[in-house]
Amino acid sequence: MKKILLAGLAVLALGGVSMAFAQGDVITQRRAGLKRMGEHMTAMKAVADVRGPGAQFSGTLDEMIAFYQGLPARFPAGSGTGDTKALPTIWSDNAGFVAAANDAVAKLQALRVAATTGDGAAFQTAWQAVGPTCGACHRTYRAR
Ligand code: HEC
């Protein structure tokens, strides 16, 4: 009986360790992804600033749209501790967090449309509408 209990505890302990690794991976990967999104925004800014047409960014924007559609899934319960700036509000107000992600997706989809029309002024306006959706989420759900 005692042996079985000990074996059970060992399995639990191992499970705990692998879970800690998995959470670390999730944090590392989402942070790398978000960093990449920031770089995409900077690259597009250079074109938006001079009202370039932005057609070359359609692939980038497909990637960004997919990333933000999947963003909430990159914050599983329990991934709020460790090397992360994720705030507990992500889980206590998860509906708000998902809505903030959806808002970013909607603005990115509009930017994707503007990029394909080849209208530089429209690209600039649509690019400017994306940044506030990043900031809105960061204000409530990310530590400074
Ligand atoms: C739905 C919420 C949400 C939206 C929308 C959002 N972010 Fe974030 N962002 C976060 C959270 C939460 C973190 C902190 C992640 C962590 O530390 O685990 C973060 C972190 C980051 C980081 C830091 C990554 C690192 O190196 O640790 C960058 C850069 C970033 N976001 C850029 C952006 C940009 C650019 C946009 C808009 C295109 C955006 N984010 C939209 C929630 C969001």
Does any ligand 1 atom lie closer than 6 A to the CB of residue 141?
Answer: yes
Secondary structure of residue 86 in the 3-state scheme: strand
pLDDT for 17: 46
pLDDT in tens, 94-129: 999 999 999 999 999 999 999 999 999 999 999 999
CATH code, domain carrying 122 = 1.20.120.10
For 98, the token pair is: 């998902």
pLDDT confidence of residue 108: 98
- Record the pTM: 0.88
> Cα(64)–Cα(68) distance, rounded to whole angstroms?
6
Domain extent, residue 111, equals 2-141
Residue-wise pLDDT for 24-34, tens only, equals 899 999 999 99
pLDDT (0 to 100) of residue 23: 79
Per-residue pLDDT tens for 40-52? 999 999 999 999 9
- Centre of ligand 1 from the C-alpha of residue 2, in Å: 48
Q: Identify whether the C-beta of residue 74 lies closer than 8 Å to the C-beta of residue 26.
A: yes
Structural domains counted in the chain: 1
Q: How many residues does the chain have?
A: 144
Is pLDDT of 66 > 70? Answer: yes
Which of 45, 74, 138 best tests ligand 1's pocket when mutated (most atoms within 8 Å of CB)? 138
What atom of ligand 1 comes closest to residue 103's alpha carbon? Answer: 5
Q: Are 64 and 37 in contact (CB under 8 A)?
A: yes
Q: What's the gap in Å between 13 CA and the centre of ligand 1? A: 32
